[in-house]
Amino acid sequence: MKMKDKMHTGELYFPGDEEIIEWQTKCLDRLYDFNMTRPTEFEKRQALMKEMFAEIGEGCYIEPPFHSNFGGAHCHWGKNIYANFNLTMVDDTHIYVGDYTMFGPNVTVATAGHPILPELRQKGYQYNAPVYIGKNCWIGAGVVILPGITIGDNVVIGAGSIVTKDLPSNVVAVGNPCKVLREVNEYDKEYYFKNRKIDYSTIIKEE
């Protein structure tokens, strides 16, 4: 099996393989082009994202700079996803993100890990595990999501949290390590922030 194929098996492999480096460099060239676009070059950004990503739906928006080990080549995004400044996707293997999910600034989603044994790290060995993020999640500023994590739908993760274990759907989770604080509940239908009530008369209604 080629080293490039081992990237997606969870096995130890050497990321300095010549074939991997050549391909990665091409991906990073496109990422550089994306990050150098002006705010007025919206259509150019959209076109580059479609080239860069494994899959990307309509209505997605990324605030540059965007950082990604393979320039999004292993990122599978649904539709209407928003990413604030400095999103880092360590996409050495696949990262899946559901529709309508939002990333705050300085979020890191990592799929790559290195062995604890120092002799193997010295030789440069690595392993990867995919990450799955559900639909309509809000990932707060500075959150770190570790390799192999699955996050359900409608999850809110508090700023600065370190996600080390899977999270179920419909919860608010915070902390280091990140733990479920509570479920999304009836209170959230009435209040949006610190006892501030939702004025449904001002909410745009879907046609």
Domain of residue 144, residue span: 3-197
* 206 found inside a domain: no
CA 144, distance to chain mean position in Å, is 9
In degrees and rounded to multiples of 5, residue 103 shows phi and psi of -110, 125
147-166 pLDDT, tens digit per residue, is 999 999 999 999 999 999 99
Q: What is the mean pLDDT of the chain?
A: 96
pTM attached to this predicted model: 0.95
* 191 found inside a domain: yes
Assign residue 152 the CATH number of its domain: 2.160.10.10
- Give 112's pLDDT tier (boundaries 50, 70, 90): very high
**Residues identified as active-site:** 114
* 202 found inside a domain: no
∠ CA(54), CA(44), CA(49), 5° rounding? 15
* 92 found inside a domain: yes
Instruction: Summarize the confidence of residues 1-9 as an average pLDDT.
Output: 91
- Give 207's pLDDT tier (boundaries 50, 70, 90): low
- Contacts of residue 184, Cβ cutoff 8 Å, sequence gap at least 6: 154, 156, 170, 171, 172
**Number of domains composing the chain:** 1
For residue 81, how many other CB atoms are within 10 A of its CB? 23
